[in-house]
Amino acid sequence: MGKKSYLTDNSKASVHDIVKGIDKDVERGEDILMFGFCVVMLSSTFAPIAPPVVVLPAVALTFALSASFARINYHRMEKKLASAIVELDGYEQVLIRPIANVFVERPMPPLTMSFNPLKNLMRTAKSLLGSLMLNPFWMPIFYVMGIQIHEEKNLIVLNKVICEVEQKLLARPATDKILSK
């Protein structure tokens, strides 16, 4: 957790180390979100013994916590990548640039903005509409579920780009051998 870069202190800057590190962090973010979904799915087992006044806020809180931890993980990945990318050679920076571009193209606002319904009017409207169709007490659940889904979409895009970069890195040794001849 205290690590500030994807590179170790005693290693030469390597794209492979960075990609491997950010891939692990993406997996960690996916695990956080999946844990939140699993806990919510298990909450139905408490419905017969706990009143909705207890279960519904617990579901909303679970989604809020898992989305928050995933967002913190996303921001941490962004900072670690930014500090590691400056230590790479020019060609290696070009290889890893698509991953850095994901953070530029899909910036994540601070949690205070995400949880403010007045700053996310579309999410608020969708949550209100969903809650009116089902039950008005579900509005907070739908709202934080929207935050959770947004987190998951960003991790899916990031994971896809990481796989593309890994494919380029796997093909790279073959092109390096051809160029050296």
In a domain, 103, yes or no: yes
Q: For residue 161, give the nearest of 79, 106, 80 by alpha carbon.
A: 106
- Which tens digits make up the pLDDT trace of 124-164? 999 999 999 988 889 999 999 999 999 999 999 999 999 99
pTM of the model as a whole? 0.86
Q: What is the dihedral of CA 101, 64, 35, 110, to 10 degrees?
A: 20
Across the chain, where does the E strand assignment appear? Answer: none
Give me the pLDDT at residue 122, please: 95
Rounded CA gap, 38 and 93, in Å? 38
pLDDT classification of 177: cutoffs 50, 70, 90: very low
Buried b (16+ CB within 10 A) or exposed e, 119-149: ebeebbeebeebbeeeeeebbbbbbbbbbbe
Q: How many helices (H) and strands (E) does the chain have?
A: 6, 0
In a domain, 4, yes or no: no
Q: Which residue has the higher pLDDT, 47 or 122?
A: 122
Instruction: Write the CA distances from 48 to 42, 45, 63, 137, 141, integer angstroms.
Output: 12, 7, 21, 18, 19
Report angle CA 137, 65, 107 to the nearest 5 degrees: 105
In a domain, 114, yes or no: yes
In a domain, 5, yes or no: no
Rounded CA gap, 56 and 137, in Å? 8
In a domain, 181, yes or no: no
**Total of domains in the chain:** 1
Domain containing 60: what range? Answer: 15-174
In a domain, 179, yes or no: no
In a domain, 138, yes or no: yes
In a domain, 69, yes or no: yes
